[in-house]
Amino acid sequence: SIIVGIETSCDETAVAIVKNGTEIVSNVISSQIESHKRFGGVVPEIASRHHVEQMTVVLEEAFEEAALSWEAIDAIAVTEGPGLVGALLVGVNSAKALAFAKQKPLVGVHHIAGHIYANRLEKEFEFPLLALIVSGGHTELVLMKGHGEYELIGETRDDAAGEAYDKVARMLKLPYPGGPQIDRLAAEGEENINFPRAWLDEGSYDFSFSGLKSSVINTIHNAQQRGEERKAADIAASFQASVIDVLTTKTVNAAKEHEVKQVIVAGGVAANKGLRNALEAEFAELSIPLLIPPLKLCTDNAAMIAAAGTIAYEQGRRSGLDLNASSSLLLK
Ligand code: ATP
Ligand code: FE
Ligand code: MG
């Protein structure tokens, strides 16, 4: 089947066309990062306005790039949540209008299902599989026993990993988005500060990054008060070491416990070089195949929404024209 995907949950306006859930026919992304940079984060009202301005442009480009007409399209998949509600609404309403005008089935997709299915554009899934989702808004471990079946076995109790990166970057006065900046800086620094690791209860696959974040703030303040110099690169390296240690250890433990055949990493933080290296080393040793999408598919895009939407469509899932955006949609 050939599916159009639409994604507007945050600050990327994206439309893509995907064949059989595995092959990208076109993938167009209009990023608003530049518009939000001077505010140090995404401003919801600005995001919505950008989506409205960009939607038709991006849509046309996706069809042009694909050299396809609407006749070839089987269904429209759209991110219904979670995300910024005003931003989501632009995608959802565009998808509904198109479904009605072009008389095509409509399929609502969970944004995180999209991040997971970004990997299927590279390699076929084998179940059971474990997905580590690390993004700006999510840090989750999801166990999948089949296509479209999502079992949440761990999640963050406070900040998401990407959020922690962005906040620590702000403390170090690095530009937004901070994740890539810290990643770059960490490679130049030394892990000479022993930041805490939040393991939580024995056997828990939940995460917590707020203690780590406070510890970084304290370290910076204390150094300032004592007039000592703390290299930003060392703080970045030590912070990153703590995040990677916890993410990697919990993912390895969950993969072993559930005897998974594949481990998938998804979300913007999957772009992190330190995390990639650590996971690659661990899973090579365990001989469990590890999939990490190429950078372009790690961050928000619509090809991943079309890929997840393909499975939902093929499983007979349909949304009505009463589909609504949900900022806190659960993955199920
Ligand atoms: P969600 O998918 O949960 O709705 P989001 O769409 O904002 O959130 P993504 O676009 O998947 O998240 O990822 C953006 C996040 O990834 C940001 O927090 C950014 O700092 C982080 N990030 C991107 N590259 C890196 C990197 N190399 N190292 C660490 N973090 C990174
Ligand atoms: Fe995302
Ligand atoms: Mg984003």
pLDDT in tens, 243-291: 999 999 999 999 999 999 999 999 989 999 999 999 999 999 999 999 9
- Please tell me the pTM assigned to this model: 0.92
C-beta of 120 in contact with ligand 1 (< 6 A): no
C-beta of 271 in contact with ligand 1 (< 6 A): yes
Burial 224-251 (b: 16+ CB within 10 A, else e): eeeeeebebbbbbbbbbbbbbebbbebb
pLDDT of 36? 78
Give the integer Cα–Cα distance in Å for 161 and 269: 7
pLDDT of 144? 98
ipTM score for this prediction: 0.96
Q: Which element (helix H / strand E) includes 225?
A: helix 210-225
Token pair of 47 as six digits: 């995001």
| Angle (CA) 156 210 295, round 5° | 60
Residues within 5 Å of ion ligand 2 by Cβ? 135, 300
Give the integer Cα–Cα distance in Å for 299 and 290: 18
Provide the 10 A C-beta neighbour count for residue 120: 22
pLDDT of 230? 85
- Give residue 125 CA to ligand 2 midpoint distance, Å: 20
pLDDT of 32? 79
- Give residue 44 CA to ligand 2 midpoint distance, Å: 15
Give nearest CA residue, ligand 1 atom 19: 179
- Give residue 170 CA to ligand 1 midpoint distance, Å: 15
Helix (H, G, I), strand (E, B) or coil at 25: strand
Q: Is residue 35 within 8 Å of residue 44, measured between CB atoms?
A: no
C-beta of 138 in contact with ligand 1 (< 6 A): yes
Which residue of 42, 135, 184, 331 sits with most ligand 1 atoms within 8 Å of its CB, as the best mutation to test the pocket?
135
| Angle (CA) 284 130 212, round 5° | 85
Give the integer Cα–Cα distance in Å for 239 and 244: 9
pLDDT of 176? 84
C-beta of 12 in contact with ligand 1 (< 6 A): no
C-beta of 83 in contact with ligand 1 (< 6 A): yes
Give the number of the atom of ligand 1 that is nearest the alpha carbon of residue 161.
18
Sequential pLDDT tens for the chain (332 residues): 999 999 999 989 999 999 999 999 999 999 877 777 778 778 888 889 999 999 999 999 999 999 999 999 999 999 999 999 999 999 999 999 999 999 999 999 999 999 999 999 999 999 999 999 999 999 999 999 999 999 999 999 999 999 999 999 999 999 988 999 999 999 999 999 999 999 999 999 999 999 999 999 999 999 989 988 889 999 999 999 999 999 999 999 999 999 999 999 999 899 999 999 999 999 999 999 999 999 889 989 999 999 999 999 999 999 999 999 999 999 98
pLDDT of 311? 98
Which residue of 174, 299, 304 sits with most ligand 1 atoms within 8 Å of its CB, as the best mutation to test the pocket?
299
Q: Is residue 305 within 8 Å of residue 6, measured between CB atoms?
A: yes
